[in-house]
Amino acid sequence: MNGPAPALLDRRLLLFTGKGGVGKSTMAAATALLASSIGKRVLLVEVDAKGDIPAQFEHSPVGFTPREIHPGVLAMAMDTEASLQEYLRLNLRVPVIGRIGPLARVLDFVATAAPGVKEILTIGKIVWEVREAIEGRADFDLVVVDAAATGHIVAQLGAADTIRELVDVGPLRTQTQWLSELLADPAVTAVNVVTTPEEMPVAETIELVDQLRREVNVPLGTVVVNRVLPELFTRGDEETFDALREPQTGDLLTARLGRGATDVLDAARLAVSMRRTGATHLEHLRRSVDLPLLYVPYLFVRAHGLRVTRMVADALGAELGL
């Protein structure tokens, strides 16, 4: 640990991982939007290429070549085959096509057989772009990655080390050295884990943080807790709320508010219970993980699109004190 961790957005590579369905893409997109709003240029990389990222900016899908999808935000979709071609072209000066047969099938095979190949092609491309940014050759300052889900991220981040364990000589060995160094640099990289206040996502987050610390040398940034329900009542307010649900009060309310009074009180009861269940999981998370937690509220009005990206970016900005 060399002094205090640099502010999140001052780093060069921010990866977002987490259990499927917790909102990784939204957090990556919102972070990119937030960074662009304070004047940075951002490359947003979608690793699982589901096309979610451009949609968060109301943009059509993008390919391997970065395209500006929003002022200050470029996006690209990871494609390991394209990454291999680029690697071969840049590093080995091999005229690729036609010499090693159908590249896709070869890659498919090698990637299946050799652990870490697909992963290294993914993380290698990402870190290569980071180095371009640091050395001033890119037209962006920050790389934000909508990374692989919990089950896959450790293999991806550890790919460079895995390869060096398996491969004794050759260019791959030397070329993975700088990659590991950039990934390990806390001034450059931060892995952020996205979660929700639910049992499984919290359990996976705790396990993942632990596993990342044990197995890979990559600095951790924050844990982003998505879809946090609002606290409806203070303790005193809750007593009042409980009193509203007493039978005699209920009659009075039904008389004044109509048949729907029960529905309204039941809905609030459900909201309180859901919040409380979530709070138990959050408490467990806080006790088990010593990383800064950022809270993003549950959004009632909209579920996706640029509008949501903006709202989440604002929430993250507030949490980061921007």
Partner 1 sequence: MNARRAGTQPAFTLEQLLAAKEIVVFCGSGGVGKTSVAAAAALGATMHLGGKVLVLTIDPARRLATALGLEGLGNRAHRVPPEVLKAAGIEARGELWAAMLDTKQSWDDLVLMHAPDEVTAYRILENRLYHDLTARFVQSHDYIAMERLFEIHASGEYDLIVIDTPPTRNAIDFLDAPARMADFFGSRLLRWLTLPYRVGGKRGSRVFNVASRPFYQMADRILGSQFLQDIAEFFLNFQSMYSGFVSRAKAVERLLHDKRTTFAVVTTLEAAPLYEAERFCAALVDRDFHLGALVLNKTLPDSLRDPDGAAAAGACIDEAGPLADALVETGDPALADRDRTARVLRTVGESYRNFSVVAMREAELRAELARVPDVVASVPTLADDVSDVDGLASISRYLFHGEAT
Residue list 134-153, contact with partner 1 (CB under 8 A): 149, 151-152
135 Cβ partners below 8 Å, 6+ apart?
A: none
3-state secondary structure of 143: strand
> 287: buried, middle or exposed (CB in 10 Å: 19+, 13-18, 0-12)?
exposed
Q: How far apart are CA 297 and CA 40, in angstroms?
A: 25
Count the residues of the shown chain that bind partner 1, applying the rule CB under 8 A.
77
Stretch that binds partner 1, among 3-11, 111-119, 126-134, 180-188 (CB under 8 A): 111-119
167 interacts with partner 1 by CB under 8 A: yes
Look up residue 201 and give its two tokens. Answer: 């996502």
Minimum CB distance to partner 1 smaller for 244 or for 322: 244
- Work out which of 1, 3, 301, 321 binds partner 1, going by CB under 8 A: 301
Comparing CA positions, the residue from 66, 76, 168, 175 lying closest to residue 120 is 175
Q: Is 106 a residue that touches partner 1 (CB under 8 A)?
A: yes
Among all chains, which residue has been given the structure tokens 């791959």?
172
Smallest distance, Å, CB 285 to partner 1? Answer: 14
Site residues for partner 1, 204-223, by CB under 8 A, read: none
C-beta of 148: minimal distance to partner 1 in Å? 8
Residue with tokens 């993008």: 62
Q: Which of residues 256-295 bind partner 1 (CB under 8 A)?
A: 256-271, 273-274, 277
Q: Is 297 in the site for partner 1 (CB under 8 A)?
A: no
Which residue in the set 105, 137, 235, 287 belongs to the binding site for partner 1 (CB under 8 A)?
105
170 binds partner 1 (CB under 8 A): yes
Answer yes or no: are the C-beta atoms of 190 and 224 closer than 8 Å.
no
- CA distances to 227, 272, 282 from 275, in Å: 10, 5, 10
What x/- string results for residues 41 through 80 when contact with partner 1 is judged by CB under 8 A?
A: -------x---x----------------------------
Q: Please work out, in degrees rounded to the nearest 5, the angle formed at the alpha carbon of residue 137 by the alpha carbons of 133 and 142.
A: 20
Determine if 253 is a binding residue for partner 1 (CB under 8 A). Answer: yes
